[in-house]
Structure formats: structure tokens, C-alpha cells
Amino acid sequence: MSSSETTAAGAGTDTSRAGTVRLDHVTHRYGRGGETFTAVGPVDLTVPAGEFLALVGASGCGKSTLLRLIAGFERPTHGSVLVSGAAPRPGETAGVVFQTPRLFPWRTVRGNIDLALRYAGVDRARRPERRAELLARVGLEGTEERRVWEISGGQQQRVAIARALAAENPLLLLDEPFAALDALTRERLQEDLRRVTERTGRTAVFVTHSADEAVFLGSRIVVLTRSPGTVALDLPITLPRGGVDSEELRGSREFAELRAQVSHAVKAAAAA
Ligand code: ADP
Ligand code: MG
């Protein structure tokens, strides 16, 4: 099958374009022999370049598994995963942000970012400028010399996002990155993340179990059924974004309706 062929979900999408994700009949099973467990699938899904896909579903439905398949950390048992038209390569295909920041705690913020820049092949001479740019983008100016254990959980997650942006790959994968944060910090980071992805035009796949977070962030929402996760709902989000105040957006009737719709879909999909 040629990579330019399209699926219903991605009609007209050039799937070889940088940042495009394409899953064809993807199923993933854990275990061997008689002791296998199907965690996801079959899933057919095309994420066009530049889209912000919020992937929602109950705990255990296979969201993290799907993200790991897209990152190339695992190969699907059946079906194929293509990113930018090629099989994903772990550590190269996408910037990944996990639920906990997974930083080097004994290093400074500078040390953590510079390591990512080094891996990304950025010359030593260019690193200070790139680092300053990345830290500004996530609102961490002036923290370069702080050690990871000296900054807050929200700041640590910002470092993790900056690190994921360091490689400049066109795809960002985030696995419930704000779940452990307090509500205020979470809302701030959601706003900042939206701004960053809008500015950089990257594709994002963001896993969450929060309908609220999905509606606020997503340009499209996919709800998974309970395990083995398949697509239960595929919903484009057409809320006005540009120039709209976040508080206003969150307080709008459209926002409340979408949140209720997604929340219902998640509960129905988990029970089905
Ligand atoms: P979610 O992120 O939606 O909570 P996961 O993708 O983590 O779901 O897990 C989906 C299912 O697969 C769960 O039942 C989980 O226990 C199982 N699972 C996840 N990772 C493994 C693994 N490495 N080995 C065996 N089972 C796994
Ligand atoms: Mg998970």
C-alpha cells in the first residue's frame, strides 16, 4: 500500500508529510504463547501534520501503549505504524513527554537541556542560544543554574517539555504530562503548551483521561473503548482559538457542551 493512499479519517492527507502519523489496522498484544493479552486494536488512525490530537480513554484502555507504538518504543503485533511516511525510530521520531518528568535530578536545568541538544546534534557553540530560546518558550528564563531538585514539579515538567522540543522533530508525544500537577499549574501549562504547538506548527498526540483537558487542548479528540482500545469517537474540535482568552473559552457554552459530550463518550466507551 502506498503511503499516499488515504483512510476515511485522513481523506486527502499526504501521509508522508513530516509529522504525519498513520496507523493501519494496529493491534498490540503483550505476553507470549498461551499467556497473551490484547492491549489495543484494531486501530486505524491518521493524524495529519500540525494537528493536536487529544487521545482520551479510561485507565488501562491502551493509551500509553498506542503512544509507545507511535514513538517506536514498541512494534505492533499486527498492522503498521508510519510517522512522516517511515517506521518510527525510538528517540528520533518524536519528542516524548512522560507523566513524570524523568530528568537527571543532580544536573542543573542547563545540564538537562544541553544533554538533549547534544543528542539532537546541536553544535556546542550553538547550544546557549538554542537553550535560551527553549527555556523562554516554556517560561523558564533565569532558571538555568538551578538543580532539578530545587525547582517545582510544574517547572520540572516545563524542563521536560523544553527537552522534548530540543530535537525539533515535527511530532510531539505527551503521556498525561500534567496529571500529577495542581489545577492552577496544570491550566497554565496547558495554555503554554497550546501556544508552543501553535507557534511551532508541530503535530501533537496528547494522552489524557480528562475530558476538560482534551477539549481545551485538542483540535481533534479520539476516545478509545476499554481494553483492547479501539476508536469509539473521533471528534473534530472547532472552538475559536486565535485571540480568544482562555478563561472565556473555558467558560463558554460550546466548551461546556463539548466537555459533556466527551465525558459521556468516555464513560460509555469504558462501560461497553
Ligand atoms: P493506559 O495508558 O490507557 O492506562 P496502557 O497502554 O498502559 O493503558 O495499558 C493497556 C493494558 O495493557 C493494561 O491492561 C495494562 O495492564 C497492559 N499492559 C501495559 N503494558 C504492559 C506490558 N509491558 N506487559 C503486559 N501488559 C501490559
Ligand atoms: Mg497510561
| Predicted pLDDT of residue 6 | 40
Q: Which pLDDT belongs to residue 65?
A: 96
Does the Cβ of 225 fall within 6 Å of ligand 1?
no
The pLDDT confidence band at residue 12, using thresholds 50, 70 and 90, is: low
Reported as a pLDDT band with limits 50, 70 and 90, residue 9 is very low
Mutational pocket test of ligand 1: of 30, 175, 226, the residue with most ligand atoms within 8 Å of the beta carbon: 30
Domain architecture of the chain: domains with CATH: 3-89+202-271 (3.40.50.300)
Task: Tell me, rounded to whole angstroms, the distance of Cα 225 from its chain centroid.
Answer: 19
Atom 27 in ligand 1: which residue has the minimum CA distance?
30
Compute the distance between CA of residue 255 and CA of residue 233 in angstroms, rounded to an integer. Answer: 17
Atom of ligand 1 nearest to the CA of 65: 6
Q: Alpha-carbon distance 137 to 131, whole Å?
A: 10
Question: What interhelical angle do 109-119 and 127-137 show, nearest 10?
Answer: 120
**How high does pLDDT run on average in the chain?**
90
State the SS3 of 134-160.
Answer: HHHHCCCCCCCCCEHHHCCHHHHHHHH
At residue 5 the predicted structure's pLDDT band, cuts being 50, 70 and 90, is: very low
Across 8-99, where does the E strand assignment appear? 21-30, 37-47, 52-56, 78-83, 95-97
Confidence of residue 11 (pLDDT cuts 50, 70, 90): low
Q: What is the pLDDT of residue 201?
A: 86
Pairing of strands 21-30, 37-47: antiparallel
pLDDT digits 0-9 by tens, 159-216: 999 999 888 889 999 999 998 888 888 898 898 888 888 888 899 999 999 999 999 9
Helix, strand or coil for residue 16?
A: coil
Distance CA 32, CA 237 (A): 40
What tens digit of pLDDT does each residue of 73-89 get? 999 999 999 999 999 99
User: CA 12 to CA 102: how far, in whole Å?
Assistant: 38
pLDDT tens digit sequence for 26-71: 999 998 877 899 999 899 999 999 999 999 999 999 999 999 999 9
pLDDT for 115 equals: 94
Instruction: Determine if ligand 1 sits within 6 Å of the CB of residue 131.
Output: no
- Tens of pLDDT, residue by residue over 212-256, are 999 999 999 999 999 899 999 999 998 887 777 888 999 999 999
